[in-house]
Amino acid sequence: MLSRKNKLLVMKIISLFSVVRGYNIPVIVLAQYLSAIFILAPENTRALDVILDFNLFILVLVSSFCIASGYIINNFYDAQKDLINRPNKSMLDRLVSQKTKLYVYFGLNFLAVFLAYFVSWRVSIFYSSYIFLIWFYSHKLKKYPIIGNLTASLLAIFPFFGILLYFFKGQYQEYDWQKIGIIFSHASFLFLLILIREMVKDLENMKGDFVSDYKTIPVVYGESVSKKAITVLTLLTIIPVYILVDVYEVGYMVIYFYLCLMALIFFLLKLWKSNTRNEFLKLHNLLKFIIVAGVFCIVLIEPAVLWHGKKILLAINFR
């Protein structure tokens, strides 16, 4: 049996894991690697070469540190409203003091900038800017309508731009307009989904935002205007989906996009019938599922890569 002191230590570790959203980090790491293998890497590049790329590993690690520190500073500034919106999670998060959270926050940021410098000083500046933007969003921008939602959505896909720039550096001749079109169509679709999710979160957290004087869209303009904006954004997802399915080649991932459109139609029908926090929370979780499912479905672009990798591993094992 654990002593009382050890039990408290375990609870604090769990609390810190909750603060940094440790369950999200592996998904983000996987998303970056799958994007690198199936979307960003030049043609005829082996998946194993991408996975064993040390600089890419550093970039993904740095992104993870930045995102984790971003969750910490966001939790730091949202402590008051989280007591209203997420009382159970808030009580767990409070097991770690604000002082300790700040120590971990600055420690992660220092490690991120330090490690990024091993790739290049430009990468270090890139991620330093990312850290500053996350802080500025948490401290100021998230309290304002529209700009807060747009900034949150851009920050969510910001790490992918780091990897994008890494693959583009010195390799422009290997990319054609079709490749660029596929990349930005995927990015646009993901951006719209995240923006919709952020606006649903505002509906979900309306009570806490109002008490904490956060000027979100539903607080300033009302619930109806927010639902109309979400509806327009949801309809706009048809554009990147059409481009990816009918203009470019995305392999079997077309199945995901068709199912996604069906899920979004269901989402809109439920949106206009929802009025309570629990109902908006279910819609929020549906959008999270769509986004996470999209990460795993990236492999459908070229499933043969997985089979080829399996054959290589089997060949190594039998030697």
Q: What digits encode the pLDDT tens for the residues 144-154?
A: 888 989 999 99
Task: Quote the CA–CA distance of 24 and 68 in Å, as a whole number.
Answer: 9
pLDDT of 94 strictly over 90: no
Task: Quote the CA–CA distance of 226 and 128 in Å, as a whole number.
Answer: 33
Percent of the chain topping pLDDT 90: 40
pLDDT of 129 strictly over 90: yes
Task: Quote the CA–CA distance of 224 and 230 in Å, as a whole number.
Answer: 10
Mean pLDDT check: name the lowest of 30-44, 224-238, 261-275. 30-44
Task: Quote the CA–CA distance of 288 and 317 in Å, as a whole number.
Answer: 38
Q: How confident is the model at residue 11 (pLDDT cuts 50, 70, 90)?
A: confident
Query: Element (H or E) spanning 257, and its range?
Result: helix 254-271
pLDDT of residue 311: 47
Amino acid at 103: Y
Amino acid at 26: P
Structure tokens at 118: 């091993």
Reading phi first (left if > 0) and then psi (alpha if -120 to 50, else beta), residue 133 is in alpha
Structure tokens at 29: 């790491």
Q: What digits encode the pLDDT tens for the residues 19-32?
A: 877 778 899 999 99
Of 207-216, 243-252, 256-265, which one has max mean pLDDT? Answer: 256-265
pLDDT of residue 315: 46
Domains detected in the chain? 7-169 (1.10.357), 173-313 (1.20.120.1780)
Q: What letter does residue 41 receive in the DSSP assignment?
A: S
Percent of the chain topping pLDDT 70: 90
Task: Quote the CA–CA distance of 250 and 239 in Å, as a whole number.
Answer: 15
Which is nearest to 231 in space by CA: 192, 278, 189? 192
pLDDT of residue 45: 75
Residues 6+ apart with CB under 8 A from 184: none
pTM score: 0.88
